[in-house]
């Protein structure tokens, strides 16, 4: 169950990063750093 939640969170983060990069290139940087920090855990 925990893995499913983590996968959902990762997917949501990826989608958010994608939309962020589409709307503005500047808002993509903080999201990228957040994703990298989550993936390292």
pLDDT tens-digit profile of 5-27?
999 999 999 988 887 776 665 54
35 token code pair? 């994703």
Closest by CA to 32, choosing from 23, 22, 18, is 18
Q: Report the pLDDT value the prediction gives residue 19, as an integer from 0 to 100.
A: 79
pLDDT value at residue 20: 76
> By three-state DSSP, how is residue 14 classified?
helix
* pTM for the full predicted model: 0.45
% of the chain residues with pLDDT over 90: 29
pLDDT at 10: 94
pLDDT at 30: 60
H/E element holding 25?
none
CA distance linking residue 14 with residue 11, whole number of Å: 5
């Amino acid at each position: 169950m925990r893995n499913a939640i983590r996968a959902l969170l990762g997917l949501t983060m990826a989608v958010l990063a994608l939309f962020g990069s589409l709307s503005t290139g500047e808002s993509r940087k903080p999201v990228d750093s957040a994703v990298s920090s989550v993936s390292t855990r």
